[in-house]
């Protein structure tokens, strides 16, 4: 069921690069490579689960704790009008990477999101955005 060679499993094992913003024993967070808005990041439980149905309760709790923490940091760093948190299960729901993850996406009033998983952001921009989130996390701690 779980594909250990999905792109997020490779990021978790350090086999692929990412702009990491946070890590603890149970969770990992990094900038989305094709952000739908500036500051869009992803929070992952480290547990090997493709969809939320397979996730253990401790891993789900840890993922939600980290998602709330990162949502606070993104809000502080980007000061959006609102903030969307989303999680897709299965291709029919829009999931493209089969490892559970939570999208944290700042929203600006009246501004549509860029298309899902569509256009890669300049790495220098992702790096700068990651640094803003990391600085905000340090402030919140
Ligand atoms: P989903 O469609 O919910 O599975 O979301 C997968 C997300 O992962 C999309 O928003 C993609 O832009 C993002 N993504 C895909 N590959 C990478 C990668 N190598 N690094 C960071 N984000 C990625």
Indicate which CATH number applies to the domain containing 62: 3.30.428.10
> What are the beta bridge partners of residue 111?
none
Q: In this structure, is residue 21 part of a structural domain?
A: yes
Q: In this structure, is residue 2 part of a structural domain?
A: no
Q: In this structure, is residue 43 part of a structural domain?
A: yes
| 95 C-beta closer than 6 A to ligand 1 | yes
**Ligand 1 atom, smallest distance to 101 CA:** 3
The catalytic site residues sit at 101
Q: Which domain holds residue 86?
A: 7-140
Q: What does the pLDDT profile of the chain (141 residues) look like in tens digits?
A: 899 999 999 999 999 999 999 999 999 999 999 999 999 999 999 999 999 999 999 999 999 999 999 999 999 999 999 999 999 999 999 999 999 999 999 999 999 999 999 999 999 999 999 999 999 999 998
pTM score of the predicted model: 0.98
| 68 C-beta closer than 6 A to ligand 1 | no
Q: How many domains does the chain fold into? A: 1
Q: In this structure, is residue 17 part of a structural domain?
A: yes
Q: In this structure, is residue 20 part of a structural domain?
A: yes
Interatomic CA distance for residues 128 and 18, integer angstroms: 13
Phi, psi of 105 (to 5 degrees): -130, 115
Instruction: Find the 79 Cα to ligand 1 centroid distance in Å.
Output: 23
Instruction: Quickly count: other Cβ atoms within 10 Å of residue 3's Cβ.
Output: 12
Q: In this structure, is residue 1 part of a structural domain?
A: no
pLDDT at 50: 98
Orientation of helix 57-78 relative to helix 123-140, angle to 10°: 100
| 37 C-beta closer than 6 A to ligand 1 | no
Residue 41: its H or E element: strand 41-45
């Amino acid at each position: 069921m779980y594909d250990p060679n999905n792109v997020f499993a490779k990021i978790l094992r350090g086999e692929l690069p990412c702009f990491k913003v946070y890590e603890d024993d149970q969770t990992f967070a990094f900038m989305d490579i094709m952000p739908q808005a500036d500051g869009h990041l992803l929070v992952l439980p480290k547990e090997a689960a493709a969809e939320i149905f397979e996730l253990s309760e401790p891993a789900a709790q840890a993922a939600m704790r980290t998602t709330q923490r990162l949502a606070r940091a993104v809000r502080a760093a980007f000061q959006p009008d609102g903030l969307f948190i989303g999680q897709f299960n299965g291709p029919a729901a829009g999931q493209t990477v089969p490892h559970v993850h939570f999208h944290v996406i700042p929203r600006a009033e009246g501004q549509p999101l860029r298309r899902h998983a569509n256009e890669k952001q300049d790495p220098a921009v992702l790096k700068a955005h990651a640094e803003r989130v990391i600085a905000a996390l340090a402030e919140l701690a």
